[in-house]
C-alpha cells in the first residue's frame, strides 16, 4: 500500500492489548519507530508485534503519552487505502442514516468507537462539520471530503480547536437541520463543538412524554434543544437558561417551528445563580445538562463537588412529585459515580429521589465494547417526592 510513512514495532510483553482490540499505543509499548523522514501527526504507520509480525495500521500521533491510534487490525495488508476508508465510510453512512426517521442530522464518525481514531464528523442535512481532536490525517481528510461530495453534502466545514475553515466551494452562515421533526438553526459564529449536541437526540424525544402541561426549566439550554421538544410536548411554560447570550438563536428557533413566545422566557445567567435565586416548588420538571466539569482525571474531586452542588440545587427547588432530567458528559464520571453523586445530593437535601430511567448517548455516538472511553454521556430521569 502507498501512503505508509513508517513502521512501528511493539515491545515484548507490551503487545497484549492487541488481543483486546484496544486502539491506543502508549509510548512505553514501543520498541522502535522507523521512518524515512520525520513523521507528522496523522501519518499512517504499519504496526508489528514483538515477533515482528504485521498486525495492523495506525495513525501516528506526535509523541505524547499515546504514540499511535490503530484504525485497522489484521494480518493481511490493505491494498488500497482509498478503497478501504471508502468502504468504512459507506458502511457507517448506511448504518447511521437509517437510525433516525424524523431527523436529518447524525454523527457519521464517532472517532475510535467507529474505527477512525481522532475524527469526529457530523452531518446536518447538506452540511458536514469535521473535527480532529488530537491528530489530523491529511490522507484520511482527502478521502472523507471526496466521500461527502459524493453524498451531495454541499457545505463542508473543518473545525480545529477554535478555528473553522471551509473545505467546500460553497459557504453558508448558519447550520440548518431537523431533529425529531423539530427545525433548528444555529449561526456559525455562535456554535459550540460541532454545532449541536446530537448526542441528546433520543433523550430530547423522551422529554416529549413528560412535558404535557408542565412548567419546565431548560438549564444549560444552548440553542434550546430540550426546551423546544418540551413545547412540542405541550408544556405549559418553558424557561431557557444559558450563560451565553443565545436569545436571538432561541427566538429564531421558536419562530421557525411556529411556537408562541408568550409561554417562554429566555434568561442569560449562570445556572448556579439562577437556581439559587428562584423560589422552591415552582418548576414541575428541570433539565440539567451542564458542560463537562472534568477534562482530566486529576480534577475529578472538584468536578464531583460541582455536580453534587448543582444537583442539590435542582433537587431542592423542584416541585414535589417533580422530575429532573440530569446529565453528565464527563468521560471520567462513570454511571456508578454519577449515581453516587445523585445519592449525595438527595441525602444532603433530605428528599426522596427515585430513579425512573437511565439515559445514554444516541446510538450514532457508537459505544464500542473495545473502546470504553467513547461512552461518555449518562443521564437519569429522577422523580423527586
Ligand atoms: C452540554 S451544553 C448543553 C446542551 C443543550 N442542553 C442541548 O440540548 O443542546 C452546555 C451549555 O452550558 C452552557 N454553560 C456552561 N457553563 C454554564 C453556566 N455556569 N451557567 C449557564 N450555562 C452554562 C454553555 O454555554 C452550553 O450552551
Does 293 have pLDDT greater than 90? no
In whole angstroms, what is the distance from residue 221 CA to residue 60 CA? 37
- The pLDDT value recorded for residue 282 is 97
Hey, whose CA ends up nearest to atom 8 of ligand 1? Answer: 225
Ligand 1 contact, 243 CB (< 6 A)? yes
Confidence of residue 191 (pLDDT cuts 50, 70, 90): confident
Domain region containing 28? 4-73
Ligand 1 contact, 309 CB (< 6 A)? no
Across the range 287-307, mean pLDDT stands at: 89
Considering the domain architecture, whether residues 222 and 86 belong to the same structural domain is answered as: no
Considering the domain architecture, whether residues 225 and 285 belong to the same structural domain is answered as: yes
- The pLDDT value recorded for residue 57 is 97
- The pLDDT value recorded for residue 179 is 98
- Tell me whether residue 223 is in a domain: yes
Q: Which atom of ligand 1 is nearest to the CA of 197?
A: 9
Quote the ligand 1 centre to 131 CA distance (angstroms).
20
Considering the domain architecture, whether residues 147 and 215 belong to the same structural domain is answered as: no
Considering the domain architecture, whether residues 270 and 206 belong to the same structural domain is answered as: yes
Confidence of residue 51 (pLDDT cuts 50, 70, 90): very high
Ligand 1 contact, 268 CB (< 6 A)? no
Ligand 1 contact, 60 CB (< 6 A)? no
Quote the ligand 1 centre to 289 CA distance (angstroms).
7
Considering the domain architecture, whether residues 236 and 314 belong to the same structural domain is answered as: yes
Q: What's the CATH number where 98 sits?
A: 3.30.750.80
Q: What's the CATH number where 45 sits?
A: 2.30.130.10
Across the range 309-313, mean pLDDT stands at: 98
In whole angstroms, what is the distance from residue 230 CA to residue 218 CA? 9
In whole angstroms, what is the distance from residue 185 CA to residue 109 CA? 22
Does 62 have pLDDT greater than 90? no
pLDDT above 70 as % of the chain: 100
Confidence of residue 3 (pLDDT cuts 50, 70, 90): confident
Across the range 358-378, mean pLDDT stands at: 97
Quote the ligand 1 centre to 194 CA distance (angstroms).
14
- The pLDDT value recorded for residue 63 is 74
Over residues 77-116, the pLDDT tens digits come to 999 999 999 999 999 999 999 999 999 999 999 999 999 9
- Tell me whether residue 231 is in a domain: yes
3-state secondary structure the chain: CCCEEEEEEECCCCCHHHHHCCCEEEHHHEEEEECCCCCCCCCEEEEECCCCCEEEEEEECCCCCEEEEEEEECCCCCCCHHHHHHHHHHHHHHHHHCCCCCCCEEEEEEHHHHCCCCEEEEEECCEEEEEECCCCCHHHHHHHHHHHHHCCCCEEEEEECCEEEECCCCCCCEEEEEECCEEEEEEHHHCCCCCCCHHHHHHHHHHHHHCCCCEEEEECCCCCHHHHHHHHCCCCEEEEEECCCCHHHHHHHHHHCCCCCCCEEEEECCHHHHHHHCCCCCCCEEEECCCCCCCCHHHHHHHHHHHHHHHHHHHHHCCCCEEEEEEECCCCCCHHHHHHHHHHHHHHHCCCEEEEEEEECCCCCCCCCCCHHHCCCEEEEEEEC
- The pLDDT value recorded for residue 343 is 98
Ligand 1 contact, 220 CB (< 6 A)? yes
Q: Which atom of ligand 1 is nearest to the CA of 226?
A: 8
Confidence of residue 17 (pLDDT cuts 50, 70, 90): confident
pTM: 0.95
Confidence of residue 159 (pLDDT cuts 50, 70, 90): very high
In whole angstroms, what is the distance from residue 264 CA to residue 254 CA? 9
Does 162 have pLDDT greater than 90? no
Q: How many domains does the chain have?
A: 3
Considering the domain architecture, whether residues 226 and 351 belong to the same structural domain is answered as: yes
Across the range 142-160, mean pLDDT stands at: 96
Q: What's the CATH number where 330 sits?
A: 3.40.50.150
- The pLDDT value recorded for residue 295 is 72
In whole angstroms, what is the distance from residue 220 CA to residue 108 CA? 25
Across the range 218-237, mean pLDDT stands at: 98
Amino acid at each position: 500500500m502507498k501512503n505508509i510513512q513508517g513502521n512501528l514495532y511493539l515491545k515484548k510483553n507490551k503487545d497484549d492489548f492487541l488481543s483486546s482490540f484496544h486502539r491506543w499505543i502508549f509510548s512505553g509499548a514501543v520498541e522502535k519507530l522507523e521512518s524515512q523522514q520525520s513523521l507528522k501527526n496523522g501519518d499512517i504507520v504499519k504496526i508489528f508485534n514483538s515477533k515482528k509480525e504485521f498486525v495492523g495500521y495506525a495513525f501516528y500521533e506526535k509523541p505524547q503519552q499515546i504514540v499511535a491510534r490503530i484504525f485497522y487490525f489484521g494480518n493481511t495488508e490493505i491494498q488500497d487505502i482509498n478503497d478501504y476508508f471508502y468502504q468504512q465510510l459507506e458502511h457507517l453512512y448506511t448504518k447511521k442514516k437509517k437510525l433516525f426517521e424524523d431527523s436529518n442530522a447524525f454523527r457519521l464518525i464517532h472517532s475510535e468507537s467507529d474505527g477512525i481514531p481522532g475524527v469526529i464528523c457530523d452531518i446536518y442535512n447538506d452540511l458536514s462539520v469535521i473535527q480532529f481532536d488530537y491528530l489530523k490525517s491529511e490522507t484520511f481528510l482527502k478521502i472523507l471530503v471526496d466521500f461527502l461530495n459524493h453524498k451531495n453534502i454541499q457545505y463542508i466545514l473543518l473545525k480545529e480547536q477554535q478555528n473553522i475553515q471551509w473545505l467546500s466551494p460553497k459557504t453558508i452562515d448558519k447550520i440548518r437541520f431537523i431533529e425529531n421533526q423539530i427545525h433548528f438553526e444555529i449561526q456559525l459564529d455562535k456554535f459550540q463543538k460541532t454545532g449541536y449536541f446530537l448526542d441528546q437526540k433520543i433523550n430530547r424525544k423522551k422529554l416529549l412524554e413528560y412535558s404535557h402541561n408542565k412548567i419546565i426549566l431548560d438549564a444549560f439550554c444552548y440553542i434550546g434543544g430540550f426546551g423546544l421538544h418540551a413545547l412540542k410536548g405541550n408544556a405549559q411554560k418553558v424557561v431557557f437558561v444559558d450563560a451565553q447570550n443565545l436569545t436571538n438563536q432561541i427566538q429564531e428557533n421558536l419562530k421557525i417551528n411556529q411556537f408562541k413566545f408568550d409561554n417562554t422566557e429566555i434568561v442569560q445567567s449562570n445556572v448556579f445563580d439562577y437556581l439559587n435565586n428562584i423560589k422552591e416548588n415552582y418548576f414541575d420538571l428541570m433539565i440539567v445538562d451542564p458542560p463537562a466539569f472534568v477534562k482530566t482525571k486529576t480534577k475529578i474531586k472538584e468536578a464531583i463537588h460541582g455536580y453534587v452542588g448543582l444537583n442539590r440545587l435542582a433537587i431542592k427547588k423542584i416541585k414535589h412529585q417533580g422530575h429532573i432530567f440530569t446529565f453528565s458528559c464527563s468521560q471520567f464520571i462513570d454511571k456508578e459515580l454519577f449515581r453516587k453523586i445523585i445519592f449525595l445530593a438527595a441525602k444532603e437535601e433530605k428528599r426522596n429521589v427515585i430513579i425512573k430511567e437511565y439515559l445514554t448517548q444516541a446510538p450514532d455516538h457508537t459505544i464500542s465494547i473495545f473502546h470504553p472511553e467513547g461512552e461518555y454521556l449518562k443521564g437519569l430521569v429522577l422523580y423527586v417526592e
